[in-house]
Amino acid sequence: MTHSTPPDVEARQALRRTMLARRAALPPEEAARLGHAAQEALLASPAWQAARQVLLYVAVRNETATARLLDAAWAHGKQVLLPRCVTSSPASGHTSGSASPAANCDNEMCLAPCACAADLKPGRYGIAEPNPDRCPAIDMDAESGSASSFAPDLAVIPGVAFDRQGNRLGHGAGYYDRFLAHPAMARTALVGLAYAFQIVPALPVAPWDRPVHALCTEEGLTWL
Domains of the chain in sequence order: 7-223 (3.40.50.10420)
Cα distance between residue 129 and residue 56, in whole Å: 11
Per DSSP, the three-state class of 108 is coil
- Count of Cβ atoms closer than 10 Å to residue 159 Cβ: 22
- State residue 68's pLDDT score: 98
- State residue 87's pLDDT score: 64
Find the angle CA(143)-CA(129)-CA(139) to the nearest 5 degrees.
Answer: 10
Yes or no: say if 216 and 192 are a contact pair by the CB < 8 Å rule.
Answer: yes
Residue 63's closest CA among 153, 155, 156?
A: 156
- Strand 161-163 to 128-130 pairing: unpaired
Helix (H) or strand (E) holding 17, with range, is helix 7-24
pLDDT by 10s per residue, the chain, length 224: 444 555 588 889 999 999 999 999 999 999 999 999 999 999 999 999 999 999 999 999 999 999 999 999 999 999 999 998 876 544 333 333 333 333 344 457 788 999 999 999 998 777 889 998 999 988 877 755 555 567 799 999 999 999 999 999 998 777 888 888 888 888 999 999 999 999 999 998 888 888 999 999 999 999 99
Yes or no: say if 132 and 178 are a contact pair by the CB < 8 Å rule.
Answer: no
Yes or no: say if 81 and 56 are a contact pair by the CB < 8 Å rule.
Answer: yes
- Strand 189-193 to 161-163 pairing: unpaired
